[in-house]
Amino acid sequence: MLYVMINLENIHSLTDFKRNAKDYVEQLKDTKNPLVLTINGEAALVVHEAHVFQEMMNRHRLIEQELHNLKLEILRDEINIGVEQIEKGEFTTYTTESLPTLAKQIKDRARHKKSIKDSTK
């Protein structure tokens, strides 16, 4: 697994990078570490060796796919729980008249959860 860290010694001005590009390219190839380039003293760009950057992008894509698969698995599990509850008769039937009450209950639960979350900040 590839981990790339930005080292404080690898922060340089864009002007210096332009003046010494060949040396910086060699450094990138040797260390495989990115350079942070500054403009007017503020970090503006990150320069990376191409294959290291591609490895990072591939890993990022893989992680996104794994996350997507996990979300699908959780959704399937939740659907299966719902199906089991229906099969066991553990459900409530709502009518046109009772739907506003259900909507209010859902909103109240959401507000309650939000207030708990806000109070823990």
Quick check: 18 and 38 in contact, CB under 8 A? Answer: no
- Tens-digit pLDDT string for the chain (121 aa): 455 566 667 899 999 999 999 999 999 999 888 999 999 999 999 999 999 899 999 999 999 999 999 999 999 999 999 999 999 999 888 888 989 998 999 999 999 988 888 888 7
Q: State the Cα–Cα distance between residues 94 and 104, nearest whole angstrom.
A: 13
In this structure, the dihedral spanned by the alpha carbons of residues 89, 91, 96 and 98, taken in order and rounded to 10 degrees, is 130
Domain 8-48, second-level architecture: 3-Layer(aba) Sandwich (3.40)
First to last CA, the chain: 35
Q: State the Cα–Cα distance between residues 89 and 85, nearest whole angstrom.
A: 6
What pLDDT, on the 0 to 100 scale, is given for residue 91? 85
Domain boundaries in the chain? 8-48, 53-115
What pLDDT, on the 0 to 100 scale, is given for residue 8? 66
Rounded CA Rg of the chain? 27
From the list 38, 32, 45, 43, the residue with the least C-alpha distance to 16 is 38
Q: What is the pTM of this model?
A: 0.58
